[in-house]
Amino acid sequence: MEPLVESFPFTGYVYPNETMIPWTVLIVVYPYLTGLVAGAFTISSLYQVFGFSQLRPVAHFALLVSLSCMVIVPVPLLLHLGRPERAFNAMITPHTTSAFAIFSYAAAFYVILLVLETWFVFRPYIVQTASMEEGPFRWVYRFATLGSNDLSENALNYDRKWLFALAIIGIPGAHGLHGYVGFVFGSLKSREWWSSDLMPAIFLFSAIISGTALVIVLYVLSCKLRRTKVDLPCLKVMAYSLWGFMMFTLLLEGVEFASLVYRGREGIDVIMSFVKGPLLVPFFILQFGLGSVLPLLVITFLVWRGMPGRALVPAITCSACLVLLAVLMMRYNVVIGGQEIAKTGKGLLAYQPPIFGREGLLAAGCVLVLPFILLSILVRFLPPWPEADAVLARRAP
């Protein structure tokens, strides 16, 4: 049986109760998933609201990515709670001064919004499939039409209006949700590593780049699996978006770190010894060097050369993979790093994530995989690819 109490070694002086790390890898996964939601939704909205027609091949797919991640977002939180059966207490009697109390409402609202938008996007497909599909799934599609079988031009125009409105609401919704996650950390005055006004903005921009990177990787992967050609103009627009938002993210992270060092408040000695010591590899090498600067240089080179050549797809995909790693490391360095610096300002803890157990790496890894399992099911029921419409048109009597 796993030990109930997992304490961690420390150097210097830490408060006795601090030898337990309250928020573990599951709380690293939580902001990572919400970030992917916001980022994927941004790609979808660039098409739905801002008319980036080049993004048509991934717009609906990005929406499904966003939905798959959002449905799983509460899972790491529920797993982490000491009394998960009481989770609804936060909804029944929300404490209005708590940043956390808003989460359940914001998450529920956002899931509903994503489900609604997905339904409107795929309504024509659902209606057509319901009339053509044979076997048990026909009933699933018939139920999914919700009795709305009208596919006249008038009805489709009505759908488009709803889609536009939902996407307009969804943009501040998704970004507000993630900015709020940054606020959960940034508003705590007890931890110098977290206590920053820039934290919501950093979380938000890193969210957008992680979601964009995920859509790039999954889109290229799906093209390989479907044996279709990658739509290069679409990939280029996503690469440009990634590049632009990465500039903002790096700038904000740099300003935040610089002001932390420049302010030099009490405990800065410990923070600097932490940054130069245990954080050297995860922060400077993995997050900053390998995950941020290298992909930025690669994409900058591609932009400079006008995105030429056969290496375009692998170069952008590899850069996107590195960005995904960087944002995961950023979440880890913020959530875990903040707790490794003792509140005393006079000591450091060394967190070693356990492999097994409820708060272990294996559990966190399983939670991270769940959205992709859900996505693989969703894309079979609701194919988001442009060619799906053509297939449907051919099958139509």
Partner 1 sequence: MQIGGRPIAARKRMNDQEKLEHGQRERRDFLNCLGSALACSVTASIAGTVGSGADARPAEAATTDASPKPAIPGYDWGQHQWAFGVDADKCIGCLRCVEACKKENNVPLDAHHFRTWVERYVTLEGEEKARIDSQADPVNIAASGSEGEYRFADRYRGEKVEQAFFVPKLCNHCTHPACVQVCPTGATYKTEDGVVVIDHAYCIGCQYCVQACPYGARYFNEHKGVTDKCTWCYHRITKGLPPACVEVCPVGARIFGDRNDKQSAISQFIQNNRVSVLRPETGNAPNVFYVGINKDVS
Residue with token string 């890894």: 365
d(CA 198, CA 143): 46
What region does 92 belong to: left with phi over 0, alpha with psi -120 to 50, or beta?
alpha
Q: Please state the closest distance from residue 189 (CB atom) to partner 1, in A.
A: 6
Give the nearer residue to partner 1 in terms of CB position, either 107 or 220: 107
d(CA 130, CA 15): 62
Q: Please state the closest distance from residue 347 (CB atom) to partner 1, in A.
A: 9
Q: Please state the closest distance from residue 54 (CB atom) to partner 1, in A.
A: 39
With beta carbons less than 8 A apart as the criterion, state whether 54 and 349 touch: no
d(CA 327, CA 35): 9
Pick the closest to residue 389 from 107, 3, 127 (CA basis): 127
d(CA 193, CA 361): 23
Cα-based distances in Å from 192 to 310, 344, 347, 363: 47, 10, 13, 29
Give the nearer residue to partner 1 in terms of CB position, either 131 or 344: 344
Give the nearer residue to partner 1 in terms of CB position, either 85 or 153: 85
d(CA 346, CA 10): 11
Q: Please state the closest distance from residue 302 (CB atom) to partner 1, in A.
A: 42
Give the nearer residue to partner 1 in terms of CB position, either 16 or 135: 16
Task: Collapse the DSSP code of 15 into the 3-class scheme (helix H, G, I; strand E, B; otherwise coil) and give the result.
Answer: coil
Listed in order, strand segments (DSSP E) in 77-142 are none
Which uninterrupted H or E stretch holds 349?
Answer: strand 346-349
Give the nearer residue to partner 1 in terms of CB position, either 17 or 152: 17
d(CA 162, CA 230): 30
Give the nearer residue to partner 1 in terms of CB position, either 350 or 377: 350
Q: Please state the closest distance from residue 284 (CB atom) to partner 1, in A.
A: 25
User: CB within 8 A of 80, min separation 6: which ones?
Assistant: 23, 24, 26, 27, 30, 359
- Strand 10-13, strand 346-349: pairing: antiparallel
Give the nearer residue to partner 1 in terms of CB position, either 145 or 195: 195
Binding region for partner 1 (CB under 8 A): 4-5, 7, 13-20, 22-23, 77, 80-84, 86-87, 89-90, 93-101, 103, 184, 188-191, 266, 339, 343-346
Q: Please state the closest distance from residue 165 (CB atom) to partner 1, in A.
A: 19
Pick the closest to residue 101 from 113, 117, 112, 87 (CA basis): 87
Give the nearer residue to partner 1 in terms of CB position, either 144 or 260: 260
Give the nearer residue to partner 1 in terms of CB position, either 66 or 339: 339
Q: Please state the closest distance from residue 167 (CB atom) to partner 1, in A.
A: 23
Q: Please state the closest distance from residue 20 (CB atom) to partner 1, in A.
A: 5
